[in-house]
A and B are shown apart, each in its own frame.
Chain A
Amino acid sequence: MAPARIVLIADVEEGRLDPAVWELAAMASAAADEADRDVRWMVLGHEASSVGGQLAAKTGCAVTVVSLPPAAAPTGALWSEILRPILDDWQPDLVGMLHTTRFQDCAAALALALDAAWIAAVQGVYRQVPTNDLVFQRTVMGGRMTAEIETGGRPAVITVLPGYFPYEDRETAPAAIEMRTVPLPASRIRLVAVGAADCEPALKQAETIVAAGRGIGSPENLALVERLAACFPRSALAGSRIVCDAGWLAPNRQVGVTGASVAPKLYIACGISGAHQHVGGMQGAELVVAINRDSRAAIFNHADIGVVADLEVFLPLLIEALEKEEMATD
């Protein structure tokens, strides 16, 4: 049998790689044995050659760099136009890229062009015995269930969720780098402006973060969460996207893939379901406490201490217990 042809795609942002990109290499290792695969990287962007060198040196896989003029604004539409003919030439069995908005914009077009499937937000890959077919794993229902997906032998384009394929550095012989220039295709999407990330500095500095989810029920109940936060030194208040979108908390207090990434010593999730977009921003916390009235909530898979309770009842009791203990030891 011919070795599995795997293409990993990375894009360059302000001369840098997304730090999660190494996980694509770990995904490729999960998908096929080293002896049995032909893995190559495609890197797109302005000034991508040094980044291409990093990929070749660290992963030992061949790299093709598509260098674009600075005027070529990165968009999924552009990536799709550039990648389609190249991938059509290589006919890969598996194409892996990160599950970012830009790759979500173009993954379907690439899959259709390759007559491939597209599986989104992939969290696991394994080979089935005895068929040797790949099985892809992803979560559904707010993270409460996983689904296993097969393509029946069809090639697959997958967008990979960061945080699920731990990558370990190892010694390899650096691989070859090929430089390509491509004529810049017309694009039906134009990037007009990019605004810097706006994250509340207190979130980065806090040792304890108390995070409110939709389960707090109403903005009035935020006072409870605030009082809870006040029980801890160097603490800050954060929220899920639903809470920030509703205007209950400022947008710069949102934790998650489209908000802040935080790594406090203690993270208390109050009424948060545990969708992967939220978990992606708090996985680095040292100790995670989850309070939720639904014992089946996915957040409990990401917590060290779990409390199944109604917040309106439990938070006043917890605040009282924390305040009382403080008095007792003073």
Chain B
Amino acid sequence: MKMLACIKFVPDSDDAALPVKPTNTAGAWDWEAAAGRMNRYDEYALEASLQLKAVRAASRIDALTVGAERAQAVLRRALGMGADHGVHIVRTGQGLPSPFTIAGLIAAYAKARDYDLILCGAMSEDLMQGQVGPIVAGLLNRPCLTSVHALDGSAGRAGLRCERDAQGGRRETLEIDLPAVVTVQSGGMPPRYPALSKMLRANQYPLERIAAEALHGIEARQRVVAVGAPAKERRVQFLDGSADEKAHRLAALLRARGRI
């Protein structure tokens, strides 16, 4: 089975250097100063592909990322986890890209390469949209299942059996014909940690590099015109003082509200 795992380099949400406001007066946002890492859902997607590879003979996993120079760190990690090949579509450009742009590049790369299965994460942690996978599927005219957490490839060549949590906590089991696109949600097999020996080898591995301009992408269709602060759903009252003072204030407030 030939698989393509799409992996995004995302800002580390715990890094205090991560801007959470526009970084210029035009409302644009860039996070050059903050650390990045592999999108968590993509770790699950890659793990799912590695599990499929273990049960399907003659499998191969290509890991692909679209991003700036430093995004190649996620390909090194993917190779360290067990991917067979790394593809870096080099794309610079600030701001929040349209999912159609990213999906267009991935589809252009995948088009003539006959992947049986393309895996994406359920969403990127920074943009939280879950669109790139379904758009790749649409562009390649493949069926698509979103947010699956378990994939069973033992059923035979034709299809995959997938499980997912639907709305309201219900669980669905579905079968999808190959070739297909799935987006992977957390909750299945926990992603493996790359072994040090594999990481050392991965760092030597020659990546396939392609300039985004060299691929026939598609139009953006939509554009982020501004970023800003979200509306407050409730008016929060922050407690101040030392940790101990805050603890006593909170206890007193809860008591006053009759909650204890």
Contact = CB atoms under 8 A, between A and B. Distances in A.
Contacts of B252: 325
A111 interface: yes
Contact of B134 (A100, A107, A265, A306): A107
Contacts of B208: none
Interface in A85-126: 100-102, 104-109, 111-112, 116-121, 124
A193 B222 contact: no
A178 interface: no
Contact of B129 (A121, A197, A251, A306): A121
Contact of A258 (B29, B128, B165, B175): B165
A314 B243 contact: yes
Contacts of B134: 104-109
Given A101-B167, A118-B135, A322-B251, A306 B176 contact: no
Interface stretch (A35-43, A62-70, A293-301): A293-301
B59 to A, nearest CB: 21
Contact of A147 (B139, B226, B243): B226
Contact-residue bracket for chain A? 35 or more
Contact of B253 (A107, A207, A305): A305
Contacts of A239: none
Contacts of A279: 233
Nearest to B244: A317
A232 B222 contact: no
Contacts of A12: none
Nearest to A315: B247
Q: Of residues B14, B126, B129, B235, which shows the largest number of chain A Cβ atoms within 10 Å of its Cβ?
A: B129
B169 A198 contact: yes
A86 B105 CA distance: 29
A179 interface: no
A290 interface: yes
Given A109-B137, A145-B20, A148-B225, A191 B174 contact: yes
Contacts of A301: 230-234, 236
A300 B236 contact: yes
B225 A135 contact: yes
A272 B113 CA distance: 41
Interface stretch (A53-61, A150-158, A169-177): A150-158
Interface of B: 11, 13-14, 18, 20-21, 29, 96, 99-100, 103, 125-131, 134-135, 137-139, 143-147, 161, 164-177, 180, 186-187, 190, 221-239, 243-244, 246-248, 250-255, 257, 259-260
Given A101-B146, A306-B236, 15 more contacts: A18-B167, A108-B131, A109-B144, A112-B138, A118-B221, A120-B131, A140-B96, A151-B221, A188-B176, A195-B173, A241-B186, A266-B259, A304-B235, A305-B236, A306-B239
